[in-house]
Amino acid sequence: MKEKGPGAGTPRKILPLWKVFPLLRGTAILAVVLTHAIISYQGQAFQLGGGFQGEKPWLGIFFLPTPFWSFLHEWSSFAVPLFLFLSGHYLAVSTHGGKAVWGRVKKLLLPYLFWSFLAWGLSWKKGAGWGVLHFLHLLLEGDAVPPFWFIILLLQYYVLAPWIVALVRRRPASTLAAAAFLQFTVTGWNYHQALSRGEAGYSLCFFPSLAFYVVLGIWAGLYPDRLKAVLGRFKLPLAGALLAFFGVLMVGETAFLVNRMRGGGVMRAMLFGYSHWKVFSFPFSILAVFFLLDWGRRRGFKASWIRSAGKNAFTIYLAHWFFLQALNFFYWHGLGALRGTAAVIVLDFLVGVWGPLWMARFIRARLPWAGNFLLGD
């Protein structure tokens, strides 16, 4: 399929979606590492600044520490919904026998257990090791390594996939509506808990929390012609404007939650406010997914390193937190001049992406037998 290029009179090729997906995975994992680099910087700034007491309220209304970086963090939050959409699409076109389901689960579970046990060992090295029962609790909720809640969530969708795919195949509109209802029910409960008790509600690893994005991906995989019809009516300038509009509303919602939850500690309030279950995260994330799909198939992504990151997205997801923890040690032992500066974000991002890539290259060349549980190969 081709269309006219702007002002040139030459046809522009529309890429098939299967060529766009690796690039989208690369974009998503880069956004994940960026968000964690920003959190690392904000944690250091919080410690060095005595808790951000000197910060003025954002727009004179809500307290939002390091507003620019909070904005960038929130606008990068499309990564998790995009990953879930791509996972749903993968599940839609996969087989669903018991052996196939177990194969997909095992591919996630083996590296999840390895890296989680490594984190347990490191907790003892720090001098305040987790007890067995505490570690098992962390293991079940995906909290032994902070980003691993997503793997627990994905495991649930992998196990439930045969039934979800069957429902979407039989009743696509009803299943999408039911998934949206479940997701907003969790959002409502979390808001109730936040506003009435000042505490978190359901964990993000609870499967209804972000169910709509997976179901949307399954729908896209089962009905590719309908997806192409939606993208065919998609207007990138209008979508970009709406994306910016809902992005601003989402940041405002984050500032509101941070302001309400400050009594329990600013960093805890910020991590709560950054959560993906927020009301305006929903339209922002859906728009971002379709915007990137359409942008990718129309414009393409030229950078080969984005494609490389996409092919190794799971490996980067598994290992990048450990590289950031190693860097954090050096910030306090030798790189003190960088601590609490924007250079932390740049260095964390580069090491968080390239560290796992170099590690993967070494393991595949020298220790190929370890790829399954170290890299998720």
Tens digit of pLDDT for each residue in 337-354? 888 788 999 999 999 999
Distances (CA, A) of 50 to 42, 54, 216, 263, 341: 12, 9, 44, 15, 15
- Domain boundaries of the chain, sorted by first residue: 2-374
What confidence tier does 51 reach under pLDDT thresholds 50, 70, 90?
A: low
d(CA 88, CA 220): 8
Task: Give residue 61's Cα distance to chain centre.
Answer: 29
Q: How many CB atoms lie within 10 A of CB 95?
A: 10
Dihedral sign, Cα of residue 262, residue 263, residue 268, residue 273: negative
Backbone angles phi, psi at 2, to 5 degrees: -135, 155
Dihedral sign, Cα of residue 173, residue 174, residue 178, residue 181: positive
d(CA 345, CA 349): 6
- Tell me if the pTM is above 0.75: yes
Q: Evaluate whether 96 touches 165 at the Cβ level (below 8 Å).
A: yes
Q: Provide the mean pLDDT of the chain.
A: 84
Task: Return the pLDDT at 8.
Answer: 47
Give CA angle at 75 (72, 76), nearest 5°: 85
Over 70: is that where the pLDDT of 302 sits?
no
Task: Return the pLDDT at 28.
Answer: 94
Tens digit of pLDDT for each residue in 107-127? 999 999 999 999 998 888 766
Q: Evaluate whether 324 touches 36 at the Cβ level (below 8 Å).
A: yes
Task: Return the pLDDT at 220.
Answer: 94
Over 80: is that where the pLDDT of 265 sits?
no
3-state SS of 130-186 is CCHHHHHHHHHHCCCCHHHHHHHHHHHHHHHHHHHHHHHHHCHHHHHHHHHHHHHHH
Over 80: is that where the pLDDT of 272 sits?
no
Q: Is 276 helix (H, G, I), strand (E, B) or coil?
A: coil
Residue from 81, 79, 89, 78 nearest 28 by CA: 79
Task: Return the pLDDT at 87.
Answer: 94
Listed range (190-204, 301-315, 352-366) with the worst mean pLDDT? 190-204
Q: Evaluate whether 27 touches 33 at the Cβ level (below 8 Å).
A: no
Task: Return the pLDDT at 61.
Answer: 54
Q: How many CB atoms lie within 10 A of CB 311?
A: 13
Q: Which two tokens stand for residue 368?
A: 């190929």
Residue from 221, 218, 212, 102 nearest 163 by CA: 218
Task: Return the pLDDT at 300.
Answer: 65
H/E stretch holding 2 reads strand 2-4
DSSP state letters, 17-28: HHHHHHHHHHHH
Task: Return the pLDDT at 33.
Answer: 96
Backbone angles phi, psi at 199, to 5 degrees: -140, 165
Tens digit of pLDDT for each residue in 61-76? 556 777 788 888 888 9
DSSP-based helix, strand, coil % in the chain, nearest 5: 75, 0, 20
The count of C-alpha atoms lying within 13 angstroms of the C-alpha of 113, restricted to the half-sphere facing its C-beta, is 7
